[in-house]
Amino acid sequence: MNVTKARDGALAAVQGLTLALISLIGSITLFTLTAVSIALIPIGVGVFSTPAVLTLVRAHANQRRSLAARWGGLPVPVPYRPFPKDARKGVTGQVERCTIMVKDPATWRDIRWMLVDMTAGAVTALVPPGLFLHGLFGILLLTGLWRPIDEAGGGGLWYGFVHVTSSFTAGLAALLGCVLIALGLRFGRPLVSVHFRLTATALAPTREAELGERIDRLTVTRHDAVDTSAAELRRIERDLHDGAQARLVAMGMNLSTIEALIEKDPAQARKMLSMARESSAEALAELRDLVRGIHPPVLAERGLGDAVRALALRLPVPCEVSVEMAGRVDAPVESAAYFAVSESLTNAVKHAGAGRVWVDIHHADTTLRLSVTDDGRGGAAVGAGSGLSGIERRLGTFDGILAVSSPVGGPTMVTMEIPCALSSPKTSSS
């Protein structure tokens, strides 16, 4: 066994001991509290206690999901149903919150997982440290540790199948202890992996549940997409009415006046022609900005990478863009990704006060991944009015996800993923 594997086995033993303690203490305690709280719902007490207890259960389960990803390399989805944005206050709101949590299938998967965790999960986690500690005890028998035990009880000491009654048998016990430690180092990591597979099996939603949750999510995002589209149409109508349309009407009136003055007052007519020319240029610029806001020409012509580079060039702070794409995605996905990055860049400059921004775009495993990182003040969160909620809704239309890491003081990393396939050859340089 090489040093790396031995070190990994020792680490697995420490992780197993940690997991066993969490399983035995956390899962047993929370399972008991959950069972009592749910049982008290019919008499009204549980309505107030159950949401608090289930919140602790979810935190406990999410901690195990996090450990499964970090220690076991096995990501487990978090499939809890969201609470309504317009949640009520007071007793009515408490009843509504309790009802949503109790009816959530993920809640009952958490309860089932705690049962597994406090039994099979605890056993699989305890075996690696148990082998290591029991093996260490066998080695310590060489120091004469067996003598006081023999003198106190008589008849020696049984260590496994070795009856320790002398220094020779203590040596055999130490040899057996070395074998147990070797087994712990060799099979510790696979046993911890078994623990996390049990966790994933119990916590992860079934295929039917995943499809149901996806349908629910798509229903919500479809409504969001319709609302967003309607709002976008109203914005375009307002911009046209207040901007280009108003300028074109004024230019038409100026041309009528020029037509009346061209013979009576040529100088004034020339002056008004100059004003009409300026108005037409401003109207054209506004129309171009409006078209760029709907679908930038560079995006249609050059693709997502070059369109984001064009955005970066217009930023008032340095911005590095890295693109790794062997082709182009469908136009709707490309547009959603472009405006998501655009909004993230705006947030970085306008709200985070960033001095530098990094954008990474790449496509792998049928997923388009985008990340925008800045060195600003941090503290960004979805729903905090920074535009991130709009990005989440935009991505949700395509079953995409948004993750934000933004500790106070920075840095902020906004990561976006959209499941999609490359549909056409690459047309821009990377």
- Interacting residues of 277 by C-beta distance below 8 A, sequence separation 6+: none
| pLDDT tens for each residue of 396-415 | 777 788 888 888 887 888 88
At 149, is the pLDDT very low, low, confident or very high (cuts 50, 70, 90)? low
Q: Which two tokens stand for residue 211?
A: 């499809």
Position 128, amino acid: P
- Interacting residues of 148 by C-beta distance below 8 A, sequence separation 6+: none
Looking at the predicted structure, is the pLDDT value of residue 217 above 70?
no
Residue that finishes a domain, picked among 203, 236, 262: 203
Asked if residue 414 is part of any domain, the answer here is yes
pLDDT confidence of residue 360? 92
Least reliable range by pLDDT among 12-21, 171-180, 215-224, 320-329: 215-224
- HSE at residue 373, side-chain half, CA atoms within 13 A, is 9
Q: Which DSSP letter does residue 386 get?
A: S
User: Are the C-beta atoms of 162 and 172 separated by less than 8 Å?
Assistant: yes
pTM metric for this prediction: 0.54
pLDDT confidence of residue 367? 87
Question: In the predicted model, what is the mean pLDDT of the chain?
Answer: 80
Report the C-alpha gap between 56 and 37 in whole angstroms: 13
Asked if residue 151 is part of any domain, the answer here is yes
Q: Do 268 and 305 fall within a single domain?
A: no
User: Are the C-beta atoms of 359 and 345 separated by less than 8 Å?
Assistant: yes
Candidates 129, 130, 122, 127; CA nearest to 199 is 122
Q: Do 112 and 232 fall within a single domain?
A: no
Looking at the predicted structure, is the pLDDT value of residue 393 above 80?
no
Q: Do 225 and 196 fall within a single domain?
A: no
Looking at the predicted structure, is the pLDDT value of residue 225 above 60?
no
pLDDT confidence of residue 311? 83
pLDDT confidence of residue 153? 62
Looking at the predicted structure, is the pLDDT value of residue 428 above 50?
no
Q: Do 175 and 279 fall within a single domain?
A: no
Residue 273 class from Cβ within 10 Å (0-12 exposed, 13-18 middle, 19+ buried)? middle
Tell me if residue 161 falls in helix, strand or coil.
Answer: coil
Position 399, amino acid: D
Mean pLDDT of 126-151: 81
Residue that finishes a domain, picked among 178, 203, 228: 203
Asked if residue 52 is part of any domain, the answer here is yes
Which residue reads 């729903």 in tokens? 383
User: Are the C-beta atoms of 407 and 374 separated by less than 8 Å?
Assistant: no
How far out from the chain centre does Cα 207 lie?
21
- E strands present in 79-209: 157-159, 162-164
At 150, is the pLDDT very low, low, confident or very high (cuts 50, 70, 90)? low
pLDDT confidence of residue 235? 61
pLDDT confidence of residue 21? 92
Asked if residue 40 is part of any domain, the answer here is yes
Report the C-alpha gap between 255 and 269 in whole angstroms: 9
Q: Is the peptide bond before 296 cis (omega within 30 degrees of 0)?
A: no
Looking at the predicted structure, is the pLDDT value of residue 386 above 70?
no
What size, in residues, is the chain? Answer: 430
At 54, is the pLDDT very low, low, confident or very high (cuts 50, 70, 90)? very high
pLDDT confidence of residue 219? 66
Looking at the predicted structure, is the pLDDT value of residue 2 above 50?
yes
Q: Do 199 and 214 fall within a single domain?
A: no
Q: Do 93 and 224 fall within a single domain?
A: no
Instruction: List the end-to-end C-alpha distance of the chain, in Å, as a whole number.
Output: 45
Strand-by-strand arrangement of the 412-419 sheet? 319-324, 357-364, 367-374, 412-419, 401-405
Q: Do 181 and 233 fall within a single domain?
A: no
Report the C-alpha gap between 425 and 418 in whole angstroms: 19
pLDDT confidence of residue 35? 93
Report the C-alpha gap between 413 and 372 in whole angstroms: 6
Residue that finishes a domain, picked among 294, 317, 336: 294
Which phi and psi (to 5°) does residue 364 adopt? -155, 145
pLDDT confidence of residue 430? 41
Mean pLDDT of 378-394: 71
| pLDDT tens for each residue of 193-209 | 899 999 988 888 767 66
Asked if residue 243 is part of any domain, the answer here is yes
Report the C-alpha gap between 359 and 321 in whole angstroms: 5
Candidates 302, 120, 92; CA nearest to 199 is 120
pLDDT confidence of residue 152? 61
Mean pLDDT of 163-188: 84
Q: What percent of the residues of the chain are helix, what percent strand, and what percent coil, each to the nearest 5? A: 70, 10, 20
CA distance to 106, 148, 163, per residue, from 145 (Å): 51, 7, 14
Q: Do 133 and 53 fall within a single domain?
A: yes
CATH number of the domain within which 395 lies: 3.30.565.10
pLDDT confidence of residue 28? 93
Bridge partners, residue 425, by sequence: 327
Asked if residue 430 is part of any domain, the answer here is no
Report the C-alpha gap between 341 and 347 in whole angstroms: 10
Q: Do 306 and 290 fall within a single domain?
A: no
Report the C-alpha gap between 311 and 229 in whole angstroms: 23
Mean pLDDT of 210-239: 63
Looking at the predicted structure, is the pLDDT value of residue 214 above 70?
no
Q: Do 32 and 179 fall within a single domain?
A: yes
| pLDDT tens for each residue of 235-252 | 666 666 666 666 677 777
Report the C-alpha gap between 223 and 233 in whole angstroms: 15
Candidates 17, 214, 28; CA nearest to 130 is 17
Structural domain boundaries, residue 215? 208-294
| pLDDT tens for each residue of 61-97 | 999 988 888 888 888 887 787 777 666 777 888 888 8
Q: Which two tokens stand for residue 277?
A: 């020319």
At 30, is the pLDDT very low, low, confident or very high (cuts 50, 70, 90)? very high
Report the C-alpha gap between 354 and 234 in whole angstroms: 32
Looking at the predicted structure, is the pLDDT value of residue 33 above 90?
yes
Domain count, the chain: 3
Q: Do 194 and 223 fall within a single domain?
A: no
Looking at the predicted structure, is the pLDDT value of residue 356 above 60?
yes
At 25, is the pLDDT very low, low, confident or very high (cuts 50, 70, 90)? very high
Q: Do 281 and 312 fall within a single domain?
A: no
Asked if residue 62 is part of any domain, the answer here is yes
Percent of the chain at pLDDT > 70 equals 81
Percent of the chain at pLDDT > 90 equals 13
At 56, is the pLDDT very low, low, confident or very high (cuts 50, 70, 90)? very high
pLDDT confidence of residue 395? 80
Asked if residue 372 is part of any domain, the answer here is yes
